[in-house]
């Protein structure tokens, strides 16, 4: 199977490459290879590669910047998806976000729950979802991180090494997602020829504060940090940002797990694995 992967240098893109099934012919591209704001360039890329499958792991993910740059965010998060769908007659796999929901649910969000994005980023990602066809595959996820990436875990490690104390938001609830685990799930769904909407995040529930505390504990155990610092829970209102984030964005992944028939690894187990990889990177 010949597979075109966009966003190949990003966290998920690298995960998709590292977990690709044996015998898959990968064609990874990133911004240096194709300008995803150019529909003609996208069409030419798809024509030249002639893939059996397109995995779109590219996205405009600067959540706060999107509030003042929604036009650019929409070009990448929606326009590029539309161009890929137009150019490729076969299946397109697209990755979206918990930000398409408003965070008012009292239970984990199911794939068919109504969307109501609160931010420019969420609106542009929802528009990208709408560009897909019935035969395409949509996978929503949240709080993605991986070793060597730009993410919350590595930011916390840096700040914990530099600062005497940290304040972390406690009233935004969800579940972290280790990128290689997400990638493996996507490949699993592809193998099942799945279409429609599915969710994937790691098992368990956490606030950003819970996540930060766990990062410090696990990093200390692995020698990634020299000492513990106080981590104080604060409300989101005490840390205002340009973009409004959903207060509750836990994703119901039962449909995914039932189809794949696999286990659901807890986020803390995957965090430990990621930190071991981070330590190995030096």
Which positions are catalytic?
121
Secondary structure (3-state) at 240? coil
Measured distance CA(204)–CA(279) in Å, rounded: 24
Contact 18, 155 (CB under 8 A): no
Measured distance CA(219)–CA(89) in Å, rounded: 46
134-147 burial string, b = 16+ CB within 10 Å, else e?
A: eebbbbbbbbbbbb
The H-or-E segment that residue 54 falls in is strand 53-56
The H-or-E segment that residue 91 falls in is strand 91-97
Contact 176, 145 (CB under 8 A): yes
């Amino acid at each position: 199977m010949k597979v075109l992967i966009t966003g190949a240098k990003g966290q998920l893109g690298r995960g998709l490459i590292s977990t690709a099934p044996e015998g898959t012919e990968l064609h990874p591209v990133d911004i240096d290879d194709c300008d995803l704001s150019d529909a003609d360039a996208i069409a030419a890329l798809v024509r030249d590669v002639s893939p059996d499958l397109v995995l779109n792991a590219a996205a405009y993910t600067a959540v706060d910047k999107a509030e003042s740059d929604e036009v650019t965010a929409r070009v990448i998060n929606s326009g590029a998806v539309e161009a890929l769908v137009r150019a490729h007659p076969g299946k397109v796999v697209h990755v979206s976000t918990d930000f398409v929901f408003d965070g008012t649910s009292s239970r984990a969000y199911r794939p068919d729950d109504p969307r109501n994005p609160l931010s420019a980023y969420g609106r542009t990602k929802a528009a990208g979802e709408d560009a897909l066809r019935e035969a395409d595959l949509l996978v929503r996820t949240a709080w993605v991180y991986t070793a060597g990436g730009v993410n919350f875990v590595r930011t916390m490690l840096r700040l914990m090494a530099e600062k005497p104390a940290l304040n972390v938001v406690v009233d935004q609830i969800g579940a972290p997602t280790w990128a290689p685990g997400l990638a493996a799930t996507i490949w699993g769904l592809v193998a099942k020829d799945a279409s429609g909407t599915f969710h994937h995040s790691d098992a368990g529930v956490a606030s950003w504060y819970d996540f930060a505390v766990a990062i410090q504990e696990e990093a200390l155990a692995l020698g990634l940090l020299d000492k513990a610092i106080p981590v104080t829970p604060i409300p989101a209102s005490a840390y205002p940002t340009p973009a409004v984030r959903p207060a509750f964005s836990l994703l119901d992944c039962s449909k995914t797990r039932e189809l794949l028939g696999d286990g659901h690894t807890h986020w803390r187990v995957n965090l430990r694995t990621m930190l071991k990889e981070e330590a190995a990177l030096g």
